[in-house]
Amino acid sequence: MMAGLKALTIAILLAGSTGASLAACPQELAVYTEAYDGRSALEFVADTRKPDIHQHFRLLLRGAKPYSGTVELQESGTRSLGRIDGMWSGAIYAVQSDGSVTPLKKRGSKAAQSIILSDLSYTLNRHKFADGTPVLPVFDLYHLTGCQE
């Protein structure tokens, strides 16, 4: 009984520290995993050569090479537009920890809790992949699961 309680306490402490480190993660170092079953991921890449309204990320699909993506915050600041290697373009929304939906923030901002890439799964399921058929995302929702340091 005591060993089980000790293991549970350690697990809770580790989960708390992971949550704290994710809470402090800047958007440009965030890693997201697809919400449905984790078969695809988004990995943001810090690129300071571009203005801070530009973000870069990679779409990771099993069985396929990584695909490069970009996010650009519109001048009005009301929405973010994303593109992935000529295969997809659309709005990207950030879901904050309080549940509000906003445009993705500038580089240096706190990472969003989740990201929605509108119609990504629909578009990719119709794309012809030259290197075989990778496992495609089921949903357009990705949750923050890591932070590159």
pTM for the whole structure: 0.80
Rounded to whole angstroms, the Cα distance separating 48 from 57 reads 13
Q: Judging by beta carbons within 10 Å of its beta carbon (0-12, 13-18, 19+), is residue 12 exposed, middle or buried? A: exposed
Rounded to whole angstroms, the Cα distance separating 54 from 26 reads 14
Rounded to whole angstroms, the Cα distance separating 79 from 97 reads 18
pLDDT, one tens digit per residue, over 11-40 is: 333 333 345 568 789 999 999 999 988 889
> Measuring CA to CA, which residue among 12, 62, 29 is closest to residue 145?
29
Give me the percent of the chain exceeding a pLDDT of 70: 79
Contact 42, 142 (CB under 8 A): yes
> Regarding predicted confidence, which is higher, 22 or 69?
69
